[in-house]
Copies of this chain bind each other. A is one copy, B any other.
Amino acid sequence: MSDLLQRLRDRGWRLTAQRRVVAEVLDGEHVHYTADEVHARATEKLPEISRATVYNTLGELVSIGEVIEVSTDGRAKRYDPNAHHSHQHLVCSRCGVIRDVRPSGDPLALLPERERYGFTLDEATVTYRGLCPSCASA
């Protein structure tokens, strides 16, 4: 059993076939599926799983901090299981491929006091955009 499933059990989650399948689909590096993509892949393993369950499960995983919601293009949200290592995203402007990246400093530190307008800052999310090697050479 994956660490994720163990953590879910520790939180009192009922481990249904549907939740197992969603967790399996989200296992891996540089995974950034939309809800529909998760549903499509989940359906391959469990044909009767419903869209609503996929949305529910993704929402729950996000709310407990196991998965991060990413919206790089204003279209469908994407779900990133790499929640336990702080990171940002690098996106190809042409093909849309996404890589997790780690900036060398804290992006929050770049915002001077006079530009904070009295806000209590929490986090900064950065999206780097450019062309990936294959799009750049094409």
Contact = CB atoms under 8 A, between A and B. Distances in A.
A113 to B, nearest CB: 10
Contact of A126 (B90, B125, B131): B125
A118 to B, nearest CB: 4
Q: Count this chain's copies in the assembly.
A: 2
Interface string A65-89: 0000101001001000000000010
Interface size class of A (residues with CB under 8 A): 35 or more
Contact of A99 (B90, B117, B129, B132): B117
A53 interface: no
Contact of A93 (B69, B110, B122): B122
A121 B117 contact: no
A136 interface: yes
Given A103-B111, A103-B115, A115-B103, A126 B123 contact: no
27 contacts: A90-B111, A90-B119, A99-B119, A101-B111, A101-B116, A103-B107, A103-B115, A104-B110, A104-B111, A104-B115, A110-B110, A110-B126, A111-B128, A117-B133, A118-B136, A119-B128, A119-B130, A119-B133, A119-B136, A121-B129, A122-B130, A123-B130, A124-B127, A124-B128, A124-B129, A125-B126, A125-B127
Interface of A: 69, 71, 74, 77, 88, 90, 92-93, 99, 101-105, 107-108, 110-112, 115-133, 136
